Structures are given as structure tokens and as C-alpha cells.
């Protein structure tokens, strides 16, 4: 499995705000935000339910990861997806850093990946 998720009640935009605030408590900021619904509508005239990809980054941990493996930026930032289902539920999905960073196959990365996963799991639990 490459991620974990949680259903979060509320208005879609309010859920986004909750996620951003919860990420801040664990040292993450949002470095990118992709509004998939709007992008697909503008580019290929497809209607989708709300779907956003948040690029979450903890600068200290990102710096540490890049020091271990300069090309690890290919696997950063930690993506968090907030999406709405057909029945109006909001699902917040977190990438699993152990699965993703495990692709690097270097023992020095594993403790950091475990730390990041713990932080993201606490964010998920707090929602």
C-alpha cells in the first residue's frame, strides 16, 4: 500500500483548511496545491468532483533527505489528496513515506521516513 486515508466531515474547503492547519502542527507547510477539478475543466472540459493535491513539505526533513540522497527530490513533497466522493463525503489521503522513500533503498532514509510517517499519521488522527 502506498498511502492511508480518513473520511472527514464538513464543507470541502473547510476540510482543506483543517488539513493545512493540522499539517502545520507537525512542521509541514504547503509548497504546492493542484486543483484537479478546475484544471481538468479548463484543459479538457471534464467535470469532476472536488479534488485537490496538496504538496506538504517539512523543510528540515526535506533538507536532511536531500543530504542523504540528492535525487530524492523526485519523491518529494509528501502529497496529501483531499477529494470528494459521489455521495458527498470528503476523503483525505496521505502518501506513505515508508513506501515511497523505500524506493531509494538506503538504510539512512528509513528512520527519517518513519518520522515523516508518524507525523502524517498524527495529522490524519487529528482530523
In sign, the C-alpha dihedral spanning 75, 78, 83, 89 is positive
Residues 3-126: name the CATH superfamily. TT1751-like domain (3.30.310.70)
Instruction: Report domain extents, the chain.
Output: 3-126
Q: Which residues contact 101 (CB under 8 A, 6 or more apart)?
A: 65, 72, 75, 109, 110, 112, 113, 116
Q: Which residues contact 103 (CB under 8 A, 6 or more apart)?
A: 75
Using one digit for the tens of pLDDT, what is the confidence trace for 6-44?
Answer: 999 999 999 999 999 999 999 999 999 999 999 999 999
- Confidence category of residue 50, pLDDT binned at 50, 70, 90: very high
Evaluate if residue 105 carries a pLDDT over 90: no
Evaluate if residue 1 carries a pLDDT over 90: no
- Confidence category of residue 108, pLDDT binned at 50, 70, 90: confident
Amino acid at each position: 500500500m502506498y498511502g492511508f486515508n480518513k473520511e472527514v466531515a464538513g464543507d470541502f474547503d473547510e476540510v482543506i483548511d483543517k488539513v493545512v492547519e493540522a499539517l502545520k502542527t507537525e512542521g509541514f507547510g504547503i509548497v504546492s496545491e493542484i486543483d484537479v477539478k478546475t484544471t481538468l475543466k479548463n484543459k479538457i472540459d471534464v467535470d469532476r468532483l472536488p479534488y485537490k493535491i496538496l504538496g506538504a513539505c517539512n523543510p528540515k526533513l526535506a533538507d536532511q533527505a536531500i543530504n542523504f540522497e540528492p535525487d530524492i527530490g523526485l519523491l518529494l513533497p509528501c502529497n496529501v489528496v483531499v477529494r470528494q466522493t459521489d455521495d458527498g463525503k470528503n476523503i483525505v489521503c496521505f502518501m506513505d513515506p515508508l513506501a515511497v522513500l523505500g524506493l531509494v533503498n538506503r538504510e539512512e532514509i528509513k528512520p527519517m521516513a518513519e518520522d515523516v510517517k508518524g507525523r502524517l499519521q498524527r495529522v490524519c488522527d487529528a482530523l
